[in-house]
Structure 1
């Protein structure tokens, strides 16, 4: 005998099965949501631990008009001294020597440019015995690709010629989104530092993870390997790093071609600051205007001839601090190349060349009060003498997007204009 299930009961079981399935699906989604929250909480906890490490206790905190918080940290408590190579390092208050001015040095007496300063000075100052440090926030870290990448440049690859040598000047990268307009000197010289005066602009950035900067590079090591040493300083606009589009004073260093070592500003241990008036990473103000006043900054980087540390000064020879010799391999001896110029990141986010500007966003041919400039280019030689650069090579990877034009005169010595708008009818 075959027993048949009543139709009403069959329908009821089907409805119960469907309900059970829906319940299981709901539990699965809730579990995924809880897991997602747990992952977010773990990430947030890691970020907070990292910020506790880099944001040292402050003797005083200053709320800058631009939104930054500047912490006045005791010099001997600064993050730099957490570096394992510096655990026995004694802070040098002054270099053993400053570069001597050679007789051929060109002095600029221009009255049509003015020195730029920093916004936070309008509301406070850090007392002696402390250094001003821009406080990092959770939002700063969240804008980065990851906690590991916060404060670091992307690893770079240099294109190679058939003979295995780098096809371009160091740090000029093709195919990795970085584009440059630079002047450089070296290869047959012993270099112990460099100087320049740079006017400051506020270039437009198309995409948040792109940037535009103008800087000095002091380089040594293998340009096609992983042991390049680089010291860098200048101004940059980087919404990802700072959360806004203001130009900011910045530094960078690496001893392994941007792979693991080094970082921007004071976001990792390494650079030792000695100055209580300059905040690395803070915004610069005022800035240059089109057909108006030009505001510039002067930066000098040089190697202490006795102790081997690489010092940096800002403006009228105001000491900022130094990169200890212990951080480097090749730069413990000397530099083999110096570069001056601009760099942008081109992500091609919409398939076209970025419209992120370099410098003022104008091409070099437009000249003073319209284009960006580096003037009074100087180098430090083996005798610790600062002298005008006599010869430079210029390079722009894509002159339809960003270009460079150099010259010399009695007031500005060796100088160049550079920059560009990025995307335009000739730059696709």
Structure 2
């Protein structure tokens, strides 16, 4: 009899445990559903903040949607300090001493090669329309774009420690940050802008969470948590854009990528005034190995009167400005200028990614094969464009990505840079 009671009691306990287990599963399932719903709500709120009402919409051949948004409704004006800001439609002053970009087809490369073909670089969405006067083109952010980010909060932002430290060629820096560079730089003076002509490639990316870019950096402050940076150039970033297209981009931060700043117009800050160029949109055509070479010119300078930092693309497009109040150190001037390439190496245990920088070829291959920056200049305190003095170079691992400088009459100060990443000398 006792055995019967014992077995019944054990059976009841078993039933209770099963019930608790089922209830636990239901609870977990509900929590998971609530978590998914909460994330969807967060994503939708973020999309509503970013995607402003459009006056006109243009579908690009590459799948992008370009919204023509009234200039006064752009994301910049979500910033509390910009609520009553009067848009400055043109800079008060342009830097003196600009190279004539219209001469580009007549310039000779630093080494004798077949004549380069020069054609205006356009953005792909131009094939299907243009934005009306009084609007700016904004690449629409889609739900899948935000979901690729580690969190809604981190969408559109670089990871920390994305700045090369030329004075500290510490190999531990590579492993700590995952970012690698091949750059030329100047420091030790006050700088009020920088310019470069960069040829455009479509480097191969190994992992979706890696990127490859070529840009200029306008830097102020220390390399600690108060670093100010303005950046502009071209990039390939599957994580950010969902494809391998080469795209025009900008970036800014006033606290070393921690809480401030973003790519393009993905947060409030940069004020765009141009109706023809979309930040983050694809650039076409791109350079081909041993074939036609295409380049873009980028100028960033500080307006001596208002103090804002302006950006110009090519010879014709003044895109807009970063208001000076966004920054601490850059409210005055920059202390360092850098030009060059950057990649992310996400391979573990000391292995190296095969993500390419620039053309994916080393500098010694030269024109038509390697990637270049030419006519690099800085803006001085008198708002004049000058050749950089004391140009230095830096790369964490020269057998993976390298840089070589030179100068001549047509190209001014220039350098070749880049590489394939993983190779027999870069395992």
**Residue 155 of structure 2 aligns with which residue?**
150
Q: Indicate the residue corresponding to 2:76 in structure 1.
A: 80
Tell whether 2:179 aligns with 1:178. yes
Q: Which has the larger radius of gyration?
A: 1
Which aligned segments of 4 or more residues in structure 1 are displaced greater than 6 angstroms?
102-107, 157-160
Structure-2 residue corresponding to 1:412: 411
Query: Which one of 88, 92, 108 corresponds to residue 88 of structure 2?
Result: 92
Q: Is the 8 A contact 1:102 1:387 kept in 2?
A: no
Q: Deviations over 1:330-387 (max 9, x none)?
A: 1111111111000011111475111111111111111111111101111111111123
Q: Quick one: distance in 2 between partners of 1:149 and 1:159?
A: 21
Measured in 2, the distance between the counterparts of 1:278 and 1:350 equals 41
User: Is 1:389 matched up with 2:385?
Assistant: no
- The question of whether the paired residues in 2 share the 8 Å contact of 1:159 and 1:166 is answered with no
Partners of 2:169 and 2:422 in 1: how far apart? 23
- TM value normalised by structure 2: 0.92
Partner in structure 2 of residue 274 of structure 1: 273
- Name the CA distance, whole Å, in 2 between partners of 1:105 and 1:74: 30
The residue number in structure 2 matching 1:124 is 129
| Match in the other structure for 2:309 | 310
Q: Is the 1:106–1:411 contact (alpha carbons within 8 Å) kept by the matching residues of 2?
A: no
8 Å CA contact 1:158–1:174 kept in 2: the answer is no
In structure 1, distance between residues paired with 2:357 and 2:218: 21
Q: How far apart are 1:260 and its partner, in Å? A: 1.1
1:107 & 1:174 partners in 2: Cα distance? 43
Between the aligned partners of 1:63 and 1:105, the Cα distance in structure 2 is 30
In structure 1, stretches of 5+ residues that fail to align are none
Per-residue Cα deviation, 1:233-271 (whole angstroms, up to 9, x for no partner): 000111111111111100001111111111110000000
Distance 1:383 1:5, change over 3 A: closer
Partners of 1:102 and 1:350 lie apart in 2 by: 47
State the match for 1:244 in structure 2. 243
C-alpha distance 129-288 of structure 1, shift in aligned 2 (>3 A): same
Residues 85 and 327 in structure 1, CA contact (< 8 A), matched pair in contact too: no
CA contact 2:130–2:276 (8 Å) conserved in 1: yes
1:257 corresponds in structure 2 to 256
Quote the Cα distance in structure 1 between the aligned partners of 2:386 and 2:237. Answer: 33
State the TM-score, normalized to the length of structure 1: 0.91
Partners of 1:14 and 1:271 in 2: how far apart?
Answer: 69
In the alignment, what sits opposite 1:54? 50
Which residues of structure 2 form unaligned runs of 5+? Answer: 108-114
Say which SS state the counterpart of residue 294 (structure 2) adopts. Answer: strand
Task: Tell me if the contact between 2:101 and 2:315 (Cα under 8 Å) persists in the aligned partners.
Answer: no
Aligned residues: 416
Q: Please state if 1:199 is matched with 2:204.
A: no
Distance in 2 between residues matched to 1:4 and 1:397, nearest whole Å = 78
Q: Please state whether the residue corresponding to 2:93 is helix, strand or coil.
A: coil
The yes-or-no answer on 1:190 pairing with 2:203 is: no
CA distance in 2, matches of 1:320, 1:313: 6
Per the TM alignment, residue 321 of structure 1 is displaced from its structure 2 partner at its CA by 0.5
Superposed, 1:11-90 pairs within 5 Å as 17-90=13-86
Alignment of 1:326-337 (within 5 A): 326-337=325-336
Aligned-partner Cα distance in 2 for 1:298–1:154: 26
Which residue of structure 1 aligns with residue 229 of structure 2?
230
Equivalent in the alignment of 2:138: 133
For residue 119 of structure 2, give the secondary structure of its aligned residue in structure 1: strand
Partners of 1:114 and 1:103 lie apart in 2 by 17
Worse overlay, 19-28 or 314-323: 19-28
* SS of equivalent to 1:416: strand
Q: 1:174 to 1:130 in 2, by over 3 A?
A: same
1:101 to 97, 102, 124: 97
How far does residue 141 in structure 1 lie from its aligned partner after superposition? 0.9
- Contact kept, 8 Å, 1:191 with 1:381, in 2: the verdict is yes
Cα distance in 2 for partners of 1:59, 1:245 equals: 29
2:271 touches 2:321 (CA, 8 Å); kept in 1? Answer: yes
The residue matched to 2:296 in structure 1 has which SS?
strand
Partner of 2:112: none
Cross-structure match for 1:365:
364
